[in-house]
Chains A and B, each alone.
Chain A
Amino acid sequence: MLHCEAVAVGKRYGRGPWILRDIDLRLAPGDVLAVLGANGSGKSTLLRILAGLTRPTTGRLTGPAPGSRRAAVGYVPDRFAAQERLTAAGYLTHLGRIRGLPVTTARRRAGDLLDRLALVGGPDAALRTLSKGNAQKVALAQALLVPPDLLVLDEPWSGLDASAHTVLAELIAETAADGGAVVFTDHREAVAEARATATRALAGGRLTARADAVPSAPAPPAPPAEIVLTGPPGPAAPDWQVLPGVLALARRGPELHLRVEQPHTDAVLLTALRHGCSVRAVTRPAPPSAPDASSAAAPAPRTAAR
């Protein structure tokens, strides 16, 4: 059963700018999709559309929109503010009954979830006394009272402590294992890639697939730079060979060619200028055996000549 599919979805409010354009998205049971994007990139709007809470301006949405009897949609907004005088357990019991659970089942489910999430103050804490992270736990619990077919989480990791992160990851994995689809947003790539089976980036209102295969490995060491100097007059010349980072030295006519390790170029240039040398050029030669992926992206050798 296909859980959620968005076809050519776009959204704008009134005559305002397009917040989302041509979004195509398909969620199958067991999918965990992360949507990455900067603040204000339209992540929340996209999630509200997927959850069936906001009507798209263009395109269509099929799947467990609210209203279809079988599908349970769990929605966790980025900010949670419910009636503050209710206790956490009381609130969750109300929400469980709204979702059609008998009162005893609702109360037991609420207690179990709050125990797992380790709500500070216990289930009888009034919602107004809860910190952001603890309120977020209550919001999370209400979405899971009935195992959701579609679980939509808006920035669920923010505000949660490390142990709650682990529980949230477990809850997401369990929902996916039960045949539910999960969508969540975040602005940190590392979090998203660790928890999701697929990652999409949202920018300029458009959704792009991410090259999931590219790991965030440390950058390879930069190739040495070549510095071309003239001068210095007479005996003032420094002993280039002993300067840190200088790999090779060659004289070509009046010019002096130095190969210098990148971290040391600034210091070598400073020394050269102090001794009255003139800088002719600083170049960065292309690495001799660059991997395919980065050779296309590597900038052409930069030259600063004067």
Chain B
Amino acid sequence: MTALVRYQLTTLLLSQRYLAPLLLFTGLVAVLTSNDSGPLTAAHGAAAAAMLLAACWLTMALTGLEDRPHRALLTAATGSRLRLLTGTVLTALLGCLPLTALGLALPLLVGTHTPTAADLLLGTEAQLTCACTGTAVGLLASRPVVRRQGYGLLLALALLLALTVSKGLPPVNLLLTRLSAHHDSADLLASTALLLALAAALLAAAAALAHTVAARRD
């Protein structure tokens, strides 16, 4: 699995397809949190929302790198379609980790805050929740599942919109609502950890669905 993730990270870096989501994330976080001296929870909310978009884009870019013949070749080399998919998910999540670090550091650089350990932990939890959810959406809209990439993009946008604006819908909308309403990070740690677990379960379900659909398509 390590070898597969290493290969996929290498191809992602060489393809430079990571650049657009990286710039989008950096831009969104910088604009939404610059000259901000308010509570850090709001900054975490901004970073989490940006992460949702970036993770989805990154996953779609990653799954779009291989054409059908080469994906078949990789499936034969890894031994099974499921292993290949697992490698893809891990690669996407690994790609989100530097973004998480960036999302924690940027608000501190462009605003004036005095972060506590609880603040940093909450920020990590919030961003990882959105990273998992974004990856799940990206998998459902990926090239092996939706052949026409235009339809894939529309599906991804619709899902992202639904997750963000549906009032009280866990994990994303609920997370963003709580982050904007509460200002004490320590209070939110436990409930956000629950949302992170839910997002991870969502990712697993999306991966299973993508696996089933892609297997039928191939």
> Which residues of chain B are near A73, meaning CB under 8 Å?
76
Q: Which of A74, A85, A98 has the most CB atoms of chain B within a 10 A radius of its CB? A: A98
Contact (Cβ within 8 A) B10 A94: yes
Contact (Cβ within 8 A) A67 B79: yes
Contact (Cβ within 8 A) B77 A86: no
**Minimum CB–CB distance for B64 against chain A, Å:** 12
Contact (Cβ within 8 A) A78 B11: no
With A and B bound together, what is the CA distance between A276 and B81 in angstroms? 77
Partner of A51, one of B70, B76, B82: B76
**Minimum CB–CB distance for B100 against chain A, Å:** 26
Q: Which of B1-49 contact A (CB under 8 A)?
A: 3-4, 6-7, 10-11, 14-15
Name which residue of chain B comes closest to A65, CB basis.
B80
Q: Check A97/B11 contact, CB under 8 A, given A55-B215, A66-B75.
A: no
In the assembled complex, A48 has its CB within 8 A of some CB on chain B: yes
**Minimum CB–CB distance for B73 against chain A, Å:** 6
> Which residues of chain A are near B69, meaning CB under 8 Å?
77-81
Name which residue of chain B comes closest to A82, CB basis.
B70
With A and B bound together, what is the CA distance between A48 and B71 in angstroms? 12
**Minimum CB–CB distance for A20 against chain B, Å:** 14
Name which residue of chain A comes closest to B16, CB basis.
A85
**Minimum CB–CB distance for A158 against chain B, Å:** 14
**How many residues on chain B are close to A (CB under 8 Å)?**
27
Contact (Cβ within 8 A) B216 A55: yes
Contact (Cβ within 8 A) A99 B215: no
> Which residues of chain A are near B82, meaning CB under 8 Å?
67
Partner of B76, one of A75, A83, A85: A75
Partner of B6, one of A85, A94, A100: A94
Q: Which of B14, B77, B215, B217 has the most CB atoms of chain A within a 10 A radius of its CB? A: B77
Contact (Cβ within 8 A) B218 A55: yes
Chain B interface main SS type: helix
Partner of B75, one of A53, A78, A97: A53
> Which residues of chain A are near B3, meaning CB under 8 Å?
94, 97-98, 100
In the assembled complex, B149 has its CB within 8 A of some CB on chain A: no
> Which residues of chain B are near A75, meaning CB under 8 Å?
72-73, 75-77
Q: Which of B50-87 contact A (CB under 8 A)?
A: 65, 67, 69-70, 72-82
Contact (Cβ within 8 A) A98 B73: no
With A and B bound together, what is the CA distance between A245 and B69 in angstroms? 58
**Minimum CB–CB distance for A15 against chain B, Å:** 13
Contact (Cβ within 8 A) B67 A81: yes
Interface size class of A (residues with CB under 8 A): 20 to 34
Q: Check A83/B65 contact, CB under 8 A, given A55-B218, A66-B80, A94-B6.
A: yes
With A and B bound together, what is the CA distance between A139 and B78 in angstroms? 15
In the assembled complex, A142 has its CB within 8 A of some CB on chain B: yes
Contact (Cβ within 8 A) A81 B10: no
Contact (Cβ within 8 A) A77 B11: no
Contact (Cβ within 8 A) A98 B4: yes
Contact (Cβ within 8 A) B77 A142: yes
Contact (Cβ within 8 A) A53 B77: no
Contact (Cβ within 8 A) A83 B78: no
Partner of A48, one of B14, B65, B70, B218: B218
Q: Check A53/B76 contact, CB under 8 A, given A79-B69, A80-B70.
A: yes
**Minimum CB–CB distance for B208 against chain A, Å:** 16
In the assembled complex, A225 has its CB within 8 A of some CB on chain B: no
> Which residues of chain A are near B215, meaning CB under 8 Å?
55
With A and B bound together, what is the CA distance between A94 and B7 in angstroms? 6
With A and B bound together, what is the CA distance between A78 and B10 in angstroms? 24
Contact (Cβ within 8 A) B11 A66: no
Contact (Cβ within 8 A) A77 B80: no
In the assembled complex, A246 has its CB within 8 A of some CB on chain B: no
With A and B bound together, what is the CA distance between A85 and B16 in angstroms? 11
> Which residues of chain B are near A69, meaning CB under 8 Å?
79
Contact (Cβ within 8 A) A77 B65: no
Contact (Cβ within 8 A) B14 A142: no
**5 nearest CB pairs, A to B:** A77-B69, A97-B3, A75-B76, A83-B11, A67-B80
Chain B interface residues (CB < 8 Å from chain A): 3-4, 6-7, 10-11, 14-15, 65, 67, 69-70, 72-82, 215-218
Chain A interface residues (CB < 8 Å from chain B): 13, 48, 51-55, 66-67, 69, 73-83, 85-86, 94-95, 97-100, 139, 142-143, 152
Beyond A66-B75, A67-B80, A77-B73, 12 additional pairs, beta carbon < 8 A: A48-B218, A53-B218, A66-B78, A74-B76, A75-B76, A76-B73, A77-B70, A83-B15, A86-B10, A94-B7, A95-B77, A98-B78
What are 11 A-B contacts defined by CB distance under 8 Å? A13-B217, A55-B216, A67-B80, A67-B82, A74-B76, A75-B75, A77-B73, A83-B10, A86-B10, A94-B6, A98-B77
